[in-house]
A and B are shown apart, each in its own frame.
Chain A
Amino acid sequence: MAERGSASRVAELRAYRALLGAQARSQAAYRTSFVVDLVGNVGATVFDVVTVLVIFGVTRELGGFTLRETLVVVGLSSCGFATADLLVGNIERLPRYVRTGLFDAVLVRPLGALPQLLLMDLPLRKLSRAVFGLAVLLFALVSAGIDWTPGRVALAVVAPLAAVVFFGSVFVLTATVSFYWVDSGELANAVTYGGRDFTSYPVTVYGGWFRALFAYGMGFAFVSYHPALALLGRADPLGLPPWTGWAAPGVAVVAAALATLAWRVGVRHYRSTGS
């Protein structure tokens, strides 16, 4: 029984791989525009980094952090967001999938609806952004003068992955709102892209209820700020205990669990279209 279970698991993974292959071939059908997109897509992520550099052109510290330290925050954020955007970002097109009937089509197939949608519409052109984000992170980690311990090496690997999971969960959670409220796109963007911008700077630059809401209400502080503190070996100027720097994976798991739950409830509430 267990053997049969794992065999069907393998067959299922093979099915997902086939979907991914089909998506790659579909995009290859428009090769020129694909290359243009690939190049053009780096733009937005580069802009995030350039913004930080410009700010440091007029100040030597930002919220108590130097340029090199801030770059670790930026790197974690860019790498995490760009990769999540590549893998999960297109779920914000859920209202379109509903309208075109794609959502009905995937629901009558013997595979999970969410992975099917993600693979069938994987925006491979966003690959360039993810690579750029990773490059920024690597550069930041090398140049920040980190005192490397085995724990910090592990965190340097796990924290970006946790950031990917966290942003991915945010994408799914906000998209799920459109099951109930079709015109929720603007609100969803405010949270996802707002979250990305928020995580590009040390949370010390923000203040008041805004910081409380985004950093701890929604958990964005654990994406880049707290892991960066732990990597840099700095105490939190806001006074949170050192273990918060290592909490990123736990926070990501909670976010993923919430997103999965919301997705399942959303699918049950799904109303389909008229015909």
Chain B
Amino acid sequence: MSVIEMDGLRKEFTVRVKAGPLRREKRTVTAVDGVDLRVERGEMLGYIGPNGAGKSTTLKMLTGVLTPSAGRARVCGLRPVADRTRLALRIGVVFGQRSQLWWDLPLRDSFDLLRHVYRVPAGAHAARLARCRELLDLDGFLDIPVRQLSLGQRMRGELTAALLHGPEVLFLDEPTIGLDVVSKQAVRGFLAELGRAGDTTLVLTTHDLADIERLCRRLVVIDHGRVVHDGSIAELHRRYGSRRMVVAELDVALPEPPVLPGAPVQRVEADGRRLVFALERASVAEVVAGLAGLTTLRDISIVEPDIEEVVTRLYRAPAGGAASAVTGAP
């Protein structure tokens, strides 16, 4: 049995739109439009998409916050809305923009309260807290009221709060949003460590693709409420034709961009003294050889495919085209 199952999961909202000075029209917006997905135990799934794609809505349906309009969802074999409180004991949730902590109390008190809320035996609670204190370096601010913590400190507190009851599944909605580089690294390192242990399933939504590259082998891209890609990051590159690039720095600009077989010019920069080639069929050596016959090279560098660029292209693709690319329909 998969830890998470979604079959035709769908969520519609009715919004009232101003249609005149007094008139208001009802309009139905489909936030999640028939998502089918299976997540296995111990998987680390990156769930990404542009703003309004339906990421958070999906997570809220899986955690029992929102009732689906149609379709079926199971998490740990439970129905998220109907079995909400039983499910809550088995999942952890971090919403980047809302808090599970008590604003006016020292961070330490929140952890103690959550022990009661989740009915965790004192021993297990202490062991998990000790581990988080070490890995997330909490000791410096355990006695400070949460409202006085920096965002990075608070997020480390939120992560701890979500894990003290030993959840089987951890849902993270934008856990690195607004964090500085150091805090981002700390959070990512901690989650990677959690993933290595292998018994926690992790579902992560994010805007920061570095989170995904660092943490997730599997990537689900959602747009307009539909899954447009489900697979590894390498598959994403292959499918959407993301290519390695060769950047050639020239001493003198060429009169016009050179035509090399299997390596079209992507960009011309620095007044023609920097050329960027995409490696389609040609190898790096062929590009270098081809260029060497035309001019003198100052420098050559190779740029690995950038997931950000792939995803941006994916978002721009019309929904129908992207969807048919996934299903492989002609």
Contacts and interface: CB of A to CB of B under 8 A. Distances in A.
Contact of B88 (A11, A22, A109, A268): A109
A4 interface: no
B174 interface: yes
A105 B95 contact: yes
Contacts of A35: none
A88 to B, nearest CB: 21
Interface string B28-67: 0000000000000000000000001000110010011111
B66 A271 contact: yes
A270 interface: yes
A274 B109 CA distance: 30
A8 B93 contact: no
Interface stretch (A12-20, A131-139, A220-228): A12-20
Interface stretch (B112-120, B136-144, B239-247): B112-120
Given A22-B102, A25-B109, A100-B98, A268 B117 contact: no
Given A22-B105, A268-B67, A110 B113 contact: no
Contacts, number: 89
Interface string A105-135: 1011111100000000000000000000000
A15 B105 contact: no
B100 A105 contact: yes
Interface in B121-174: 145, 173-174
A32 interface: no
B117 A104 contact: no
B99 interface: yes
A275 B206 CA distance: 12
B301 interface: no
Interface in A243-275: 268-272, 274-275
Contacts of A204: none
Interface in A13-52: 14-15, 17-19, 22, 25-26, 29-30
Nearest to A116: B117
Most buried by A among B67, B99, B104, B116: B116
B99 A112 contact: no
Contact of B84 (A8, A105, A107, A269): A107
Nearest to B110: A22
A102 B95 CA distance: 11
B107 interface: no
B91 interface: yes
Given A104-B65, A110-B118, A22 B103 contact: no
Nearest to B173: A275
A26 B95 contact: no
Interface size class of B (residues with CB under 8 A): 35 or more
A101 B173 CA distance: 13
B86 interface: yes
A14 B116 contact: yes
A25 B105 contact: yes
Contacts of A17: 116
A102 B98 contact: yes
Given A108-B65, A110-B86, A272 B60 contact: yes
A123 B98 CA distance: 22
Given A105-B99, A268-B67, A111 B117 contact: yes
Contacts of B60: 104, 272
B3 interface: no
B65 A26 contact: no
A107 B102 CA distance: 16
B97 interface: yes
A110 B117 contact: yes
B56 A108 contact: no
Contacts of B103: 26
Contacts of A14: 116, 119
Given A22-B105, A22-B109, A275 B66 contact: no
Contact of B116 (A15, A101, A102, A104): A15
A107 B65 contact: yes
B291 interface: no
Contact of B117 (A19, A25, A271): A19
B88 A275 contact: no
20 contacts: A11-B119, A19-B116, A22-B105, A22-B113, A25-B104, A101-B97, A107-B63, A108-B63, A108-B64, A109-B85, A109-B117, A110-B89, A110-B119, A111-B117, A269-B67, A270-B66, A270-B67, A272-B66, A275-B97, A275-B174
Interface of A: 8, 11-12, 14-15, 17-19, 22, 25-26, 29-30, 100-102, 104-105, 107-112, 268-272, 274-275
**A-B residue pairs, 7 tightest by C-beta:** A101-B98, A18-B116, A110-B88, A26-B104, A108-B93, A11-B119, A15-B116
Interface of B: 13, 52, 56-57, 60, 63-67, 81, 84-86, 88-89, 91, 93, 95, 97-100, 102-105, 109, 112-113, 116-119, 145, 173-174
Given A26-B105, A101-B99, A107-B63, 17 more contacts: A8-B119, A11-B119, A14-B119, A19-B117, A22-B105, A104-B98, A105-B98, A105-B100, A108-B64, A108-B91, A108-B93, A108-B100, A109-B118, A110-B117, A269-B67, A271-B13, A275-B174
